[in-house]
Amino acid sequence: MTRDSNLKDDLDSAIGHYMTSVAAKLLDEGLPVKSLHAYGHYDDITQPDTDDVEGGIDFGSAFQRRVFPDGEVGLHWSATSGWCLFLIPNSGGGGLYDGARWLGAGLLPSPERVAAFVSSAQLDARSAGSAERPFYRTPREDLHELLKRLEEFAPEGEFSSHNYEYRFRSLQGQAYRRRVIDALLSGEDAIVDLPIRRSELQAVLHLIDYAEAADSAMRGPEDFVVPVVADLTHRIGNGYGSVLENQRALEHAQEVQRRIEEHRRKKDLEGE
């Protein structure tokens, strides 16, 4: 049994890995998961009487506007009530749970079940789940049992020795890398007319440069930044023909995909 002196840290870690397991499923389904958090300080007196420890998952702003144009939306997990989709209007005047839609599938539903809940929310956020908050456990009681249940979501394999922050950043980077490769190799190669000011194009290039400098995601798409910038820069003012003359990003994606397939074939042969 975990000593009480370590219980907060252990809860932080276990909640974080559960959040990461759910986030990984959402990333697999193409959702723009931006960040997550875990909070294991069960003795925080500022918490409401109905809560103790918690976690949550945040999405990109474009996704939030699409799902709930009138305000902020995100996923919240309460260790007393399970998952909810919070809907906080821009007009203010509401707390986290005012207007929240509850999944109501138990305290620790599978990542697949949470992802299905988010899918229903994308159709109609205000009718997803239920407005009635369920309660599955009493706050600040049976914390060791809660920890034991959460530890079922601890990672195995390559992430077994890493904290949940590292695991999440790695999975997030891998997901966006896959999306970049899939987009470049999608076959959607029609050349589009995009009216853009030179100043706007320059701003885009600066933003991409910043993404390369700021990106700390492990195994993310940062190696595509340089060829994308080079392609756009060399196409400026050079007409449609320059699209075929400057396609380093596409060629890089083809080479990366070739290496991935070669690695898979090698693994398959080793497994025979």
User: pTM for this one?
Assistant: 0.85
Q: How many domains does the chain have?
A: 2
Phi, psi (deg, nearest 5) at residue 37: -145, 160
Instruction: Give yes or no: residues 180 and 265 share one domain.
Output: yes
Flag whether 159 is in a domain. no
Instruction: Give yes or no: residues 113 and 238 share one domain.
Output: no
Flag whether 46 is in a domain. yes
2-51 per-position pLDDT tens digit: 456 599 999 999 999 999 999 999 999 999 999 999 999 998 888 888 89
Flag whether 85 is in a domain. yes
CB atoms within 10 A of CB 20: 30
Q: Which amino acid is at 46?
A: T
Q: Which of these ranges, 118-122, 183-187, 210-214, 238-242, has the smallest mean pLDDT?
A: 210-214
175-201 per-position pLDDT tens digit: 999 999 999 999 888 888 878 888 888
41-86 per-position pLDDT tens digit: 998 888 888 899 999 999 998 899 999 998 999 999 999 999 999 9
Instruction: Give yes or no: residues 71 and 148 share one domain.
Output: yes
Instruction: Give yes or no: residues 188 and 150 share one domain.
Output: no
Flag whether 217 is in a domain. yes
Q: What is the mean pLDDT of the chain?
A: 90
Q: Which of 65, 68, 57, 67 is nearest to 34 (CA)?
A: 57
SS3 string of 80-110?
A: CCEEEEEEEECCCCCCCCCCCEECCCCCCCC
Phi, psi (deg, nearest 5) at residue 233: -65, -45
Instruction: Give yes or no: residues 145 and 49 share one domain.
Output: yes
Domain extent, residue 252, equals: 176-271
Flag whether 200 is in a domain. yes
Instruction: Give yes or no: residues 54 and 98 share one domain.
Output: yes
Instruction: Find how far residue 215's CA is from the centre of its chain.
Output: 15
Instruction: Give yes or no: residues 85 and 149 share one domain.
Output: yes
